[in-house]
Structure 1
Amino acid sequence: MGIEIIPNWHPIFVHFTIGLLSISALLYLAGLVFKKPNLLVAARWNLWIGAAVTIATVLAGFYAYNTVAHDGPSHAAMTDHKNWALVTASIFGVLALWSLIKHRGAKTVHPAFVALILLASGILAITGFKGGELVYRHGLGVMSMPEVSGDGGHGSHSHGEYGDAGHHGTAEETHDHGSHEH
């Protein structure tokens, strides 16, 4: 029996892509600044593994692009995210190949490479933001929430040590649970 991720695997792979590639950039920067070859080794491995996972992320993204139900505005946002993702993946692919060919086993890294991977990480952040917008602004790829009835379930649990305050502010503040859904 396979594991079913609703609606697809893209949300799983993308977190590895973002984490590995971002950490790689930070490790490259630290390796350059502190002149620590062991940080560069870790940076390279994060970049190489991140680039490999990115292939799966892009493939799963194409699957999501072609299968997730969406409307016109969502389609435009999906296309924008896809275009940014393809550019981002291509840049990191080139950086991974550059690192494999030029830096494998090197005890130093060229500052231009570090500048490029930091720039690529900024582009990755923009791409990730655009993907987050698809989920949280357009509601793509998520199952519908259960219908809320009564007090929204707030009467059935505690908000921790702050009692009535919790994430709703101070105990003196009021929060009308009937004015919106949780």
Structure 2
Amino acid sequence: MLGLLPPLNDKNLPWLDVIHPIIVHFVIAMALISVVFDLIGVITGRRNLFEVSFWNLLVATMAIFVAIIFGQIEAGLANPYGTARDILSLHSTIGWSLAGVLGLLTGWRFVVRQKDPNRLPVGYLAVDGLLAVLVVVQVYLGDKLVWVYGLHTVPVVEAARRGVLS
């Protein structure tokens, strides 16, 4: 199977640069803005924000699966070392959980929207808050993998290839 991939570059990837962070930034922005628009819509009574929130949530739900696909491929090529292994494992687990939460919220939101597009249940807003917390934790873990452990950076890849990291 690996023979089907092109040779790995200096970042240990078969393509020019990491793709997962590019896609996941769309998910982060759309998921968080969805929560923010829900809160502003509830507080101010501007119900048109619920429509914007719904469409952001829908696109975030679709995009997270693309982000997960690239994330899993790039994680498999990352050669994590030390504590980075545990952080990467937790990051992957929370990523799949986020996909589930986004899918659940989108389905719930679709049903709520059909019944009364001008109202959001309190339970929905609570899960909305959970979504925001999970996204913030994911951002922290992803940043730590790149900025602290340097996964897919040239110096770390070179050190791993030389056997310096374990």
Spell out the pairing of 1:29-48 with structure 2 (5 A cutoff): 29-48=39-58
The percentage of aligned residue pairs carrying the same residue is 21
**Which residues of structure 2 form unaligned runs of 5+?**
1-14, 157-166
Distance 1:143 1:93 in 2: 36
Aligned-pair distance for 1:121?
0.6
Give CA-to-partner distance per residue, 1:41-84, whole Å, 9 cap, x none: 00101101111111111111111111123224322221011111
Distance 1:101 1:5 in 2: 41
**Which residues of structure 1 form unaligned runs of 5+?**
146-182
In structure 2, the residue matched to 1:120 is 131
In structure 2, the residue matched to 1:96 is 106
In structure 1, the residue matched to 2:9 is none
In structure 2, the residue matched to 1:16 is 26
In structure 2, the residue matched to 1:81 is 91
Letter of the structure 1 residue corresponding to residue 99 of structure 2 = A
Change (3 A) 1:39 1:64: same
Letter of the structure 1 residue corresponding to residue 48 of structure 2 = N
Aligned residues: 141
Distance 1:61 1:50 in 2: 15
Relative to the length of structure 2, the TM-score reads 0.78
Give CA-to-partner distance per residue, 1:149-173, whole Å, 9 cap, x none: xxxxxxxxxxxxxxxxxxxxxxxxx
Over 3 Å off, 4+ runs: none
Cα RMSD after superposing both structures: 1.7
Equivalent pair of 1:20/1:49 in contact (CA under 8 Å): yes
Q: Which of 76, 88, 95 matches 1:66? A: 76
- Which structure features the higher share of helix residues? 2
SS at match of 1:144: helix
Equivalent pair of 1:35/1:108 in contact (CA under 8 Å): no
Distance 1:127 1:117 in 2: 15
Aligned-pair distance for 1:109?
1.3
Change (3 A) 1:141 1:24: same
Q: Which of 124, 145, 150 matches 1:134? A: 145
Equivalent pair of 1:51/1:92 in contact (CA under 8 Å): yes
In structure 2, the residue matched to 1:144 is 155
Aligned-pair distance for 1:143?
2.9
Relative to the length of structure 1, the TM-score reads 0.72
SS at match of 1:68: coil
Distance 1:5 1:120 in 2: 32
Distance 1:106 1:87 in 2: 27
Letter of the structure 2 residue corresponding to residue 110 of structure 1 = P
Rg larger for: 1
